[in-house]
Amino acid sequence: MYLDPAVSRSVKVLVVGHFAVGKTTFIGSISEIEPLQTEEEITEASEGLDDLSETPDKSTTTVAMDFGRLTLSDTLVLYLFGTPGQERFKEMWEGLSRGALGALVLVDPKRLHESFPVLDLVEQFGLTYAIGVNRFDGTPDYPLDEVREALNLTEETPVVHCDVRDEDSAAQSLITLVKHLMSTLG
């Protein structure tokens, strides 16, 4: 699907989060084009590096990035770049963050402690962000104010529930980020 020639503006946004939080699924569910995914099989080489205890059925992982596109209006397109979630790939973040206006930080409410290194990187690169609390089967919906408090976020940081498998839910979290960017970037 080609981009309409009338599109004159583009915005780059990162979709970030810790390992196995749903970044690839998020971009796959919302992208209007077939997303670029750099998924590879998890091998024995990652033993001791990737904690699969909470996600025993996970068999692939992003090794470079995910990429998708979403046209927001006749003249504006949003480019989505998903980052790898493992610490060993954090060097990819520097390049991916260049030119990005902001980031949607996906978190798993059962593994919030894994979100702190991600938040550190987002803040290190000076990105405005919103939090999407991903819904996993069998996980209760934690009150958003409790998630905000647990992550030590300011009141200005948007926090929303998100089911990355559902296009409408993913879109709502992205809308939250875009509105937040518009309010902070003036």
- What pLDDT score was predicted for residue 2? 76
- What pLDDT score was predicted for residue 4? 82
Beta carbons of 7 and 71 less than 8 angstroms apart:
yes
Q: Would you list the domain boundaries of the chain?
A: 9-185
pTM: 0.84
Least confident of 58-72, 136-150, 151-165: 58-72
Q: Which residue has the higher pLDDT, 37 or 63?
A: 37
- What pLDDT score was predicted for residue 139? 83
- The DSSP-derived string for 91-148 is HHHHHHHTTEEEEEEEE-GGGGGGGHHHHHHHHHTT-EEEEEEE--TT-----HHHHH
Give the residue carrying structure tokens 């946004």: 13
| CA 150 from centroid of its chain's CA atoms | 19
Q: What is the mean pLDDT of residues 78-99?
A: 80
Give per-residue pLDDT as tens, 101-132: 999 999 999 999 999 999 999 999 999 999 99
Q: What is the mean pLDDT of residues 125-149?
A: 93
CATH class label, 9-185? alpha beta
Tell whether the model's pLDDT for residue 35 goes beyond 70.
yes
